[in-house]
């Protein structure tokens, strides 16, 4: 019987890991990180068990083993008028059930342990010389070789192409490393305006996370295609952003005195 105990414990631990990594962590990352990591909306972070136990302005968000007393569960169920998460929508029933199951199981949060350094994981000098490992430095403003491709009057506008899709983009954007990178860019390139072109706001968690890192956010709204209710829902997700400016796109009429700024199709 003694030899069965570690096997059972290992199996239970593996099941807890699977529940958290495959079901719970993606729910938190895709629906909560935009407002509850670095931005600490309501004083709450949800990217660690310790932070959930600490909670925010409403108190501890997590009571391990007791889903009914956990503010996190009350918020996602939206049965309390004052606690409604996530903003602008509601989790699917199976997602809520996964969070309830996780809390009832004690809310295990597997710690990621750093792998020991090996010869294969140690960077060689020629690898360390790769551009992405180099510190940021101030460089000369690039000259544009083809001035006819972009319809803009911005001198020496340069674009960086989009990278490949990343399954953990939301977590990467919410990370401390991303915050440090953006701070370095703002400090080193204080004489430039750096623009990030993000995907649509409501269906994209990445956009909401990125917006919390920006000094200003410009919300582009397609004229005559987007309801005011949808705009209001989108703006509600940006409450933690210091400056948010809505602007109409593809509009053919003057919007003087409107809620929006605007721009249209020149010459079309």
Measure the CA–CA gap between 139 and 158, rounded to whole angstroms. 13
Q: For the purposes of burial, counting CB atoms within 10 Å of the CB of 144, is it exposed (0-12), middle (13-18) or buried (19 or more)?
A: middle
**Which residue matches tokens 């060689």?**
124
63 found inside a domain: yes
* End residue of a domain, out of 58, 84, 104: 104
158 found inside a domain: no
Residues 98 and 174 in one domain: no
Provide the angle, in degrees to the nearest 10, between the axes of the packed helices 4-19 and 93-104.
140
151 found inside a domain: no
**Which residue matches tokens 């509009």?**
251
Sign of CA dihedral 40, 41, 42, 44: negative
Read off the pTM.
Answer: 0.43
40 found inside a domain: yes
| Residue 153: strand pairing partners | none
Measure the CA–CA gap between 84 and 76, rounded to whole angstroms. 6
| pLDDT given for residue 142 in this prediction | 61
Number of domains the chain is built from:
2
- pLDDT tens, per residue, the chain with 268 residues: 333 333 333 344 667 678 888 889 889 988 888 888 887 888 899 999 999 999 998 899 999 999 999 999 999 998 877 788 887 678 999 999 999 999 999 999 987 554 454 555 566 777 677 666 777 777 666 666 666 665 555 666 666 666 777 778 888 888 888 888 888 887 777 667 788 888 787 777 888 888 888 888 888 888 778 888 888 888 888 877 778 888 877 776 654 445 555 444 433 3
197 found inside a domain: yes
Domain of residue 19, residue span: 10-104
Whether residue 242 contacts residue 215, with contact meaning beta carbons closer than 8 Å, is answered with yes
Q: What are phi and psi of 6, to 5 degrees?
A: -65, -30
Please choose, from the candidates 67, 83, 64, the residue with its C-alpha nearest in 3D space to the C-alpha of residue 75: 83
* End residue of a domain, out of 89, 104, 119: 104
188 found inside a domain: yes
117 found inside a domain: no
Q: Which two tokens stand for residue 94?
A: 């199976």
**Which residue matches tokens 């001198």?**
155
Task: Report CA-CA distances (Å) from 194 to 107, 157, 205, 210, 256.
Answer: 41, 10, 21, 13, 28
Whether residue 65 contacts residue 104, with contact meaning beta carbons closer than 8 Å, is answered with yes
58 found inside a domain: yes
Strand 261-262 to strand 217-222: parallel, antiparallel, or no bridges (unpaired)? unpaired
**Which residue matches tokens 């430039």?**
192
Alpha carbons within 13 angstroms on the beta-carbon side of residue 68 total: 0
* End residue of a domain, out of 104, 137, 158: 104
Measure the CA–CA gap between 210 and 174, rounded to whole angstroms. 8
* DSSP, res 24: I
Measure the CA–CA gap between 204 and 246, rounded to whole angstroms. 18
Residue 248 parent element (H or E): strand 244-249
Whether residue 141 contacts residue 156, with contact meaning beta carbons closer than 8 Å, is answered with yes
Q: Residue 65, SS3?
A: coil
Whether residue 22 contacts residue 86, with contact meaning beta carbons closer than 8 Å, is answered with no
């Amino acid at each position: 019987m003694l030899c069965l105990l570690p096997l059972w414990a290992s199996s239970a631990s593996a099941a807890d890991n699977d529940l958290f990594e495959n079901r719970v962590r993606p729910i938190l990352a895709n629906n909560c990180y935009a407002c509850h990591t670095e931005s600490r909306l309501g004083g709450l972070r949800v990217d660690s068990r310790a932070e959930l136990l600490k909670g925010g302005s409403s108190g501890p968000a997590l009571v391990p083993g007791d889903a009914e007393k956990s503010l996190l569960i009350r918020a996602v169920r939206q049965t309390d008028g004052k606690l409604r998460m996530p903003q602008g929508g509601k989790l699917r029933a199976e997602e809520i059930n996964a969070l309830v199951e996780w809390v009832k199981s004690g809310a295990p949060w597997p710690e990621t342990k750093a792998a020991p350094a090996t010869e294969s994981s140690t960077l060689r000098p020629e690898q360390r010389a790769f551009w992405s490992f180099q510190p940021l430095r101030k460089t000369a403003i690039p000259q544009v070789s083809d001035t006819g491709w972009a319809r803009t009057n911005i001198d020496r506008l340069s674009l960086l192409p989009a990278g490949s899709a990343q399954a953990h983009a939301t977590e990467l954007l919410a990370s401390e490393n991303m915050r440090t990178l953006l701070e370095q860019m703002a400090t080193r390139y204080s004489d430039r305006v750096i623009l990030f072109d993000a995907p649509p706001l409501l269906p994209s968690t990445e956009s909401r996370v990125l917006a919390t890192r920006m000094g200003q956010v410009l919300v582009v709204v397609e004229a005559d295609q987007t309801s005011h209710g949808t705009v209001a829902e989108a703006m509600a997700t940006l409450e933690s952003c210091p400056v948010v400016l809505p602007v109409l796109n593809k509009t053919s009429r003057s919007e003087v005195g409107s809620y929006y700024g605007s721009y249209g199709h020149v010459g079309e």
